[in-house]
Homo-oligomer: A and B are copies of this chain.
Amino acid sequence: MSETVKLTLDEVRALSLSILTKSGFGPEHAAAIADTLTTCQTDDCQSHGLFRLFMCHDTMKSGKVDGHAAPVLKPSNNAIVRVDANAGMSLLAFEKALPLLIEKTRANGIAAMAINRCFHFSALWPEVERLSSVGLAAMAMVPSHSWVAPAGGTRGSLGTNPLAFSWPRSGKDPFTFDFATSAFARGEIELYRRAGKPLPEGVAIDKYGNPTTDPKAAMDGAMLTFGSYKGSALSIMIELLAGPLIDDLTSLESMEFAQGAGGAPYHGEIILAFDPAQFSGGRVSDNDARAERLFADITDQGARLPSQRRFAARARNTERGYVEIAKTLHDDLRALAEDVRAV
C-alpha cells in the first residue's frame, strides 16, 4: 500500500455510520452495516470494508432499497428461520434472525436461516464466524448477478455464488473459508482493466463465448467458474439452495430485477448451522482433538489454512487499536461524505 491513513476502530465505525445515515439508512440498518464494515476492516479485508460504503450509497441512489425496512421473522415450528428483509439490506435481517437460528440449531442439531428479499453486498465470513464464535459450524451461500457462464457455456447464467464455511476451534481462530465459485472476483477483472494487464487464461470468455484474456472483453462477456465442471456444478447448487429452495431469485432473475442499476444485487441468502454437541452425541472435545490433528497435519507440511492472513491482521489491528487504509480511499470517502451532505 502506498500512502495510508490510520483510523481507530471507533473512527471506522463512526465514519461508516455517518455516511450510511446521510445516505438514507435508518439507525438500525446503519448500525448493522457499520458493524460488519468495521469487522471486515479490522481484518484488513479491504474489498469488503469501508470500500463498500460506495456500494451502499449507490444502492440507495438506485432507489430500490428501503433504508428503514423492518425485517420480519416468520413464525415457524420447524428448524428453519425465515426472515423477510422487506427490500432492506441483508445485514439487519441476519442480525435479527441470528438468536433464533442459534436456538433452533441447539434444539434440533441442524437448522437453517433463509433471508428473503434482501439487498446483499457483504462478505459471508463475518456471518459464519458469528456462529462458530458460539461453538456451531456454519455454511452460507448467496447468488448474485448472472455474470458467470456454466462449464461448456457461452454466456452468463450463474452468479459469482460464494460459499463460506466456519468451524469452531476451542481457544483459537476458527477454520473459515469464503470464496466465490467464479474463477475471479468481478472486482479483480476491473483492477486488471484499470492496470491495462491481461487476465490469466481460463477465467473469462468474450461476448461470443470465446476464451479471452482481455479484461474489457471479459466484462462484456462472462466469467468462468473455478474448477471447470465441478466448480460449475457447485455454483448451480448454490443457485438452487439460495434461490428456488427458499422462494427467492436466481442470479438471472436478480440481474433482470436490477435493470442495469448499480449497487448491491437483490436476492436471498441461506445459512446452515450445525451443533457439534448434538451431532457427536456430546463427544465434542474428543472430536475437536481429531479436527486439530487434521489441521496440524496440514500446517506441519507447510500448507496454510484459509483466512490466516486475515486472522493475523485482526490480532495486529485489535492489539494496536487502529487500521490503515489507503489515503486515496480515505480521500474518496471524505468526498463521498461531503457529496452526500450536499444532497
Contact yes or no, B247 A281, CB < 8 A: yes
Contact with B along A96-132 (1 / 0, CB 8 A): 0000000000011111101000000000000000000
Contact with B along A281-297 (1 / 0, CB 8 A): 10100111011011001
A residues sitting closer than 8 Å to B (CB atoms) are 74, 76, 78-80, 82, 107-112, 114, 137, 139, 146, 149-155, 157, 163, 165, 167, 175, 177, 179, 181, 209, 226-234, 236-237, 239-241, 243-247, 249-250, 252-253, 272, 274, 276, 278-281, 283, 286-288, 290-291, 293-294, 297-298, 301-306
* Residue numbers in B under 8 Å from A283 (CB-CB): 247
Report A156 CB to chain B, min CB distance, Å: 9
Alpha-carbon distance A231/B232, docked complex (angstroms): 12
Indicate whether A79 sits within 8 Å of B109 (C-beta atoms), given known contacts A157-B301, A298-B157, A302-B153.
yes
Copy count, this protein chain: 2
| Chain A interface mostly | mixed
Report A253 CB to chain B, min CB distance, Å: 7
Indicate whether A111 sits within 8 Å of B79 (C-beta atoms), given known contacts A245-B279, A247-B279, A287-B247.
yes
Contact yes or no, B108 A233, CB < 8 A: no
Contact yes or no, A294 B252, CB < 8 A: yes
* Residue numbers in B under 8 Å from A236 (CB-CB): 175, 177, 294, 298, 305
Contact yes or no, A280 B137, CB < 8 A: no
Report A138 CB to chain B, min CB distance, Å: 11
Alpha-carbon distance A315/B280, docked complex (angstroms): 41
Indicate whether A153 sits within 8 Å of B301 (C-beta atoms), given known contacts A177-B233, A236-B294, A290-B244.
yes
Q: Of all chain B residues, which has the CB nearest A82?
A: B281
* Residue numbers in B under 8 Å from A139 (CB-CB): 237
Contact yes or no, A245 B274, CB < 8 A: yes
* Residue numbers in B under 8 Å from A305 (CB-CB): 236
Identify A290's interface contact among B74, B175, B243, CB under 8 A.
B243
Alpha-carbon distance A227/B224, docked complex (angstroms): 12
* Residue numbers in B under 8 Å from A112 (CB-CB): 109-110, 274, 279
